[in-house]
Every structure is written in structure tokens, then in C-alpha cells.
Structure 1
Amino acid sequence: MPATYDAILPAPFGKIGVRTDGARIRAIVYLPGHVEARAPADALTQQLAAQLEAYYANPDAAFDLPLAPAGSDFQQRVWQAISAVPRGAVTTYGTIAEAIGAMPRAVGQACGQNPFPIVIPCHRVVSARGIGGFSPHAEDGFYLDVKRWLLRHEGAMLI
């Protein structure tokens, strides 16, 4: 698994795997803490590492990174709606669905396919009945623990 990442960066909740195309970020992936870190080898992954460190120190720190285009038109609409949710706030899958004329389950699936978590803050989207999911490949609660950490860090109330 680690060989597929251009960098594996430490995070307070584990590690973050990064894939780039040399000029843009292609994917950000949450990884468990036992995965071996890999230092940034180029200016782009160094820039991401610096912005992540700034975010860990201050949840109001902004991300300004070149992201590779990804996703369908529908996913783009969902990710744009997610990006509008301010730090310290949460919204529901249903609220986003209503705003863009979709079904909550489809919004949840688009959230799970977000290639740029933290930068596009899908952790700020919760279920109407609780914290909701966070990843289509959740294992042993790791991804929900990441979501809880991010929401606590940003000062959002947990459900």
C-alpha cells in the first residue's frame, strides 16, 4: 500500500497518504498510524505538508493547493457544497441533497468518493441521526475516529 503514495505525512490521528501528478494533488488518503511515513520529495508535497501542519496548529488555517480535476458533475456539485460549510459547523447529507436537488444517499456516496478530504471537508457532513459514515471502506472505526478528531479539532459539536 505505501508504495503508491508520493508522500506519507504524520497526522494527529494517523497518517495521510498523498498522490500527485507532479503539478497537482491527485488524492489525499487517511492511513492508520502504523504505516511508515515517507517525507515529501517535491515542492508540492512539501507545500501540502506545511499547510496540514498549519491546520493542525490552527483549524482556521486555509488550504490553497492545486487539485487535479476529479469526479462527475454531480460529485463536483456535492464537493462544492461541502466546501461552503464553515469550520466549526456541520450540515447533513439531507440538507446538501435538498440544496442541489439530489437524494441524501447519493450525497453520502459522493462524500465517500471525495479524493481530497480535509481540503474538501467532508467530515463536516453528518447524518440526521448521528455522526454518519465517512468512508466507503471504513475499517474498525478508524475513519469515524478520524472524523471525530477533525470535528473536535474544529470545535464542532459531536452528535
Structure 2
Amino acid sequence: MALTEEIIYSFPTFALKVDLDATNIYHAEFMPPAIDAVSQSISRSPLATEVIRQLDEYCDNPKFKFDLPFSYNGTLHQLKVWQIMQQIEAGSTLTYGEVAKQLLSAPRAVGGACGANPLPVFIPCHRIIAANSKLGGFNSGNIFFNLGIKKWLLNHEGIQI
């Protein structure tokens, strides 16, 4: 995997760093807010331009569904969880237990797959919540910062938690 480009895209309360090459997105991670992060990059590949366009579209239309080329690895269980996540429509959620039941798995294993998601926002792990309709966990790293991001994404998509 030869990464050729990095985008830092600013949302209202956080930034998303996206790693890509000419053909695929490999990784995305949350960062503290960045001011005009995207405009700092002068030359962009066609894929980077499309990533920015689709992120702009998602910000304008929370029901927007990403259609981008991804390349990622995971265990068989993680891949199955990520596939289910991609089928959850914006404005909808599933619980860790509901996903676990579909896979004959355990809610904690689903939570582990959510935490290992290499492409948050694009693979919408934020749409998986706890059985008590609470946020549950979200991504790895600073739990308070990341739960704030999960709440923002869900609110953006019309879900009040």
C-alpha cells in the first residue's frame, strides 16, 4: 500500500484525516477540528477531489450514501460487521446486540469490530448503539472526544440520543 495523499476534512466539531492513493481509500481517523484543512492542499488527485465532493455532499445532505473505492483488511468477523454497517441507512440505527444476533456472535465482539473500523464515517459505525438507546462506545482513542463525534454524526442524520 503506497499512500500518495492525505486529506484533512473539517466538520463543524472535528476533522477527518483520510489516507488514499490513486485508486483506493485505505484509512480514515478522527482528529481535533482543523480550520480550512481541505483548502490547504493545492494539488489533488481525482480520487481526493471526489472524496472531498462526497464529504461536502454528506454535510449538505445527511441521507447521502458514499460511493467510493475502499481497500481494507480485517478478520472475517470484522468484515461481516463492517458489511452490515454499510447497509444501515442514514437516520437508522442497530444495537450491538441486533448485529450480534444476525452474525450469531456476541455484542462485545461487534463492539470490537466497530472500534477497529478503519474507515469511520464512510463505514458508519456511529449507527451502532447500545441496547439502552445510549451511545455505547465509539472508535478508539479519546472516548469523550469520540463520543462527541458519534453524537454529532447521529444528530446530523436526524437521530437524537
Q: TM-score, normalised by structure 1?
A: 0.89
Taking the aligned partners of 1:143 and 1:5, their CA distance within structure 2 comes to 24
Describe the SS at the equivalent of 1:55.
helix
After TM superposition, the structure 1 = structure 2 runs for residues 27-66 of structure 1, keeping only pairs within 5 Å, are: 27-34=27-34, 37=37, 38-39=40-41, 41-66=44-69
Do the aligned partners of residues 20 and 12 (structure 1) sit closer, same or farther apart at CA in structure 2, a change above 3 Å counting? Answer: same
Letter in 2 for 1:131: L
**Partner deviation per Cα, 1:38-94 (whole Å, 9 max, x = no partner):** 537221111111100000000111211000132121111001111121111111111
What does residue 138 of structure 1 align with?
Answer: 142
The answer on whether the counterparts of 1:15 and 1:33 sit within 8 Å (CA) in structure 2 is: yes
1:6-155 to structure 2, matched below 5 A, reads: 6-34=6-34, 37=37, 38-39=40-41, 41-129=44-132, 130-139=134-143, 141-155=144-158
Percent of pairs with identical residues: 37
Task: Give secondary structure in 2 for the equivalent of 1:64.
Answer: coil
Q: Kindly indicate whether the alpha-carbon contact (under 8 Å) linking 1:24 and 1:68 is maintained by their aligned counterparts in 2.
A: yes
Q: Which structure 1 residue ranges, 5 or more long, are not aligned? A: none
The gaps in structure 2 that reach 5 residues or longer are none
Offset of 1:35 from its aligned partner?
7.7
Task: Name the SS of the counterpart of 2:28 in structure 1.
Answer: strand
Q: Distance in 2 between matches of 1:104 and 1:5?
A: 35
1:34 and 1:150 map into 2 onto residues whose CA distance is 17
**1:5 shift after superposition:** 6.5
Separation in 1 of the partners of 2:108 and 2:140? 12
Ranges of 4+ aligned residues in structure 1 off by more than 2 Å = 34-41
Q: Look up the SS of the partner of 1:98 in the other structure.
A: helix
Q: Would the aligned equivalents of 1:5 and 1:17 in 2 still touch at CA under 8 Å?
A: no
- How many correspondences in the alignment? 154
